[in-house]
Chains A and B, each alone.
Chain A
Amino acid sequence: MHDTFPKYLLWNAERFPERPAIREKDLGIWQAWTWKEMKDEIVALASGLATLGFRRGDKLAIIGANRPRLYWGMAAAQCLGGIPVPIYADSVVAEMRYVLEHAGVGFVLAEDQEQVDKIMEIQADNETIRHVIYDDSRGLRDYPHNGLHDFQEIQAAGREHAGRNPEFLPGEINQGSGSDVGIFLYTSGTTGNPKGVVLTNDNVLITSKNSARQDNLTEREEVLSYLPLAWVGDHIFSYGQAYVTGFCINCPESDTTVANDLREIGPTFYFAPPRIFENLLTTVMIRIEDAGAVKRNLFQTFMAVAKKTGIAILNGDPVPLRDRLMYKIGEVLIYGPLKNTMGFSRIRVAYTAGEAIGPEIFDFFRSLGINIKQLYGQTEAAVFVTAQPDGEVYADTVGVPSPEVEVRITDDGEVIYRSPGVFQCYYRNEEATRETKNAQGWVMTGDAGYFDGNGHLKIIDRAKDVGKLQDGALFAPKYIENKLKFFPQIQEVVAFGANREYVSVMVNIDLDAVGNWAERNNLPYASYQELAGHSSVYDMILKNIIQVNQDLAADQALSGSQIRKFLILHKELDADDGELTRTRKVRRRIIADKYRELIDALYSDAESCHVVTEVTFEDGRKGTIEADLRIVQTTPFAPLKKAG
């Protein structure tokens, strides 16, 4: 029975010896390792780790981008009964120190000098980190070498060790079992310190198997692995499912080439958070606006066709022949080339999750014939709670419970679930574990939701974020934010209104989209701040807000939460400043605290507000920026009367 990843590795090396397991673009050329080759690499690494004294239960932190060697590190640690602890590569020293110390990490596998520097800073007053292994030796030649090792050096030592003790590693792998802890995944969390979610091999493997079966994933899938290693999504889609089905994962050349690599690989199975689809749509729109009149008109004509018939065709609904023909022509002229440019030509299944996706964005991709579906998941569930089955895809729901998952709604409207993927505990945090998971294994999600008529789960917002205005009108901040974020020129929005007189929003413009627009309109600007403060930019955003208000006015429940005031922030919300999580979710409490004076101004008669904000540079140094921000008022629409 294959109940651990190392056992799957050995099996895959037998059943798919010549199939590619992983690829990496290096020096401009895609390099591949077959399952057999990858097994040899991992065995060498694991044996090398053993020579350093890595024992059962030891933790190996893995820090860096999606590199084959870092993925191998996970399996190598598991071969020895150890626990991989992936850490977000862009963590600043303090965040990294917290995780390393909390998990009691003794061994680190780091990508490059940038990460090694951070670890050495932490090591200055941390005795538990004994060995650091690096993948890329560049710039590390003159570093002190006690406890710092080159990856290849460790593998060489491992090969020698394995040559002398051929029985050692197979024996270690045999000792592993499904109930062993497989991985710690630290959740970035919108509040407080990250929590270490403990998942067993069974948690990850059973969930991966079930989900792969549901979508008929086979060893022939191609997947681009570009999302952070430390995020549960990548652990399932690039690791769990890859080992279970034997498909090939592809590591991009660098984090800046992902779009291009996506196009070259043409994945068949793809996962992206809504933000990526948003950005993609923004890029498409910018480039269409830059295109010539003929192309632009063709695009608009056929996108209208797609909007009308594309989704119905994808869902297998009946469509009149004439529309079908038009769609076929569109496929040749517009959709096909567009999908090719985006790297979506071969996609069979694509998922999005993590945040609610704007219905317009969702429909745009589905109307092109891309089978993008939503799922609802959590680190605590090893991702899958619910997912949309083929043919039952709706923009405003997250689907039906995944195989072997039970989902219920509590009396308070909170979604809870129980499944084989449910985590064991938060590492060294019994209190939080008790708060989240009860004795029967039910996990609280903290999300408010309900099942609609089709048995599909609908998530409204974080349970604690849904509020009411002073006059009792319903206020769902994320709903308003998502509506605004659909406009390509808006990058991020934070809405306020709970227990207030009216709703107001702070907006981040999208520098790419607005910058491009400014260039075309001969509007000079030197920085984000200057562009954001420009009066014609304000006018543009005002138009967007009026449109959203119009939509809200048409909605009976939400007509009371129309936006009355807004401002455009002078800086981009940034994870380095703690305003977003590393997965780029808005941290409301921190923003509310940091921009208190701005929020106060939004609820006063002020027409502008002076603000001084602390910013953190990439190297960890701090500085401040100052600005006078304009506050703009809008007039709400009268709520539409119910007909009849």
Chain B
Amino acid sequence: MSTPTVIGTHVEVRDLVVRFGKRTALDGLDLTLDTGVHGLLGPNGAGKTTLMRLLATVAKPTSGTVSLLDHDLRDHRQLRRVRRRLGYLPQHFGYYPRFTVREFVEYFAWLKEVPADRVPTAVDRAIERVGLLDRADDKLKKLSGGMLRRAGIAQAIVNDPDILLFDEPTAGLDPEQRVEFRELLRAIGVDACVLVATHLVEDVTAACTDVTLVNGGRSVFRGTPEELAAAADDSVGGDSPIERGYTTVLRAARQG
């Protein structure tokens, strides 16, 4: 495990507004994240993926500010520095089916400008951390959906990022793989800022140090998973305290 390289705020979002035509995806969102594993919850259309794409530097805000690792993303040189320290697994993960796992991760190490002397070790380590070392020389087109997802995670972590963004990372993973993935998240979260956007509240309970709930493009809750569970109204439906807490907060936000 590498030593933390960031002292201070990893992610700072202020009064963030994103509009697509007449639709407002994010509406004055504020968010501050530091080291740890952070959950991002919310219903469909709440703005989770829009926020992830902004933090991944592939989208730009309509207004407001986004600062990553204390860098201003409007400056091209600072943006490039941030990208070297960023890992991202999008919801719809694209890949090159004829590449092997090792070639794919190595290619992204090149794209992420990992120093050449560190690449072989970094690639092996990333593949090992996602448990694909025995399939490293298999082509991606031969892998199952879960394995592909893990190859996607490997490319995201190959540069030992300080900010790691996972959009629905456990989709396609079986229960055992999800448990292993949560362990990986906890390990990475010791010295990096990991943001996990998900629909699966049990992932948040198991792996996240805190959780942000967004609705209608705004943050409606920020606290620990336990605090979200404690917010539950026993009269609302749900199989677990955190599910009930999620539903309670969401309904309150809609009524308010």
Q: Do A and B bind each other?
A: no
